[in-house]
Amino acid sequence: MISPTKPGQHAEESGWYVVYTRPRQEARALENLRNQGFVCFLPTLSAERLRGGRQVEIAEALFPRYLFVYLEVGRSNWSTIRSTRGVVRLVEFGGVTTRIPSSLIEALAEQPVQQKKLFEVGERLRVIDGPFVGIETVLQRLYKTPDGEARVIVLMDILARPQQISLPVCVVRRAA
């Protein structure tokens, strides 16, 4: 149970707290907090993205703009967190910094890394470039060529017949 404090004060218990970060700066905040001696946890997932026309796998924050920090009453200097690069503030409810149960952090840490696919088989896609621009298709398969280029095989109706066409992954997007 968190002891009541004055608005803007910290709860008087050691434990895990939530840090709100600047947009896309979770890793920067994590590094800077660790450099100051804080114990931190940033749950991530593996996501497929397009970079320069190539499909790449990146680590992405499971909770965008949030990470967890372990603070000890009397030992941790809470005031330095606000001025840390990448950090906006500690999350508060009703003016009180709220502690997160350790069991939640442990459960998150034990979870296997989740994967977020660029596209799913059967998903409707729209061609955005090339001779088939504007045509809606259905994804059949994703694959990589021997030289590493990511491609998709899509099913599209051409002359009233379904045809499988291979396209670079960079010329398709999710259909709206």
Residue type, 110: E
94 and 111 fall within a common domain: yes
Contact predicate 8/24, CB 8 Å: no
What's the CA gap between 66 and 60, in Å, rounded? 12
Tens digits of pLDDT across the chain (176 residues): 233 333 344 455 789 999 999 999 999 999 999 999 999 999 998 887 777 767 778 888 999 999 999 998 776 677 889 899 999 999 999 988 889 999 999 999 898 877 778 888 889 999 998 888 999 999 998 888 887 788 889 998 888 888 899 998 888 888 87
Tally the residues of the chain.
Answer: 176
133 and 89 fall within a common domain: no
48 and 71 fall within a common domain: yes
CATH classification of the domain holding 77:
3.30.70.940
Q: Determine the structural domain holding residue 152 and report its residue range.
A: 124-174
What's the CA gap between 19 and 40, in Å, rounded? 10
pTM check: above 0.75:
no
Q: How many domains does the chain have?
A: 2
What's the CA gap between 150 and 54, in Å, rounded? 6
| 72 lies in some domain | yes
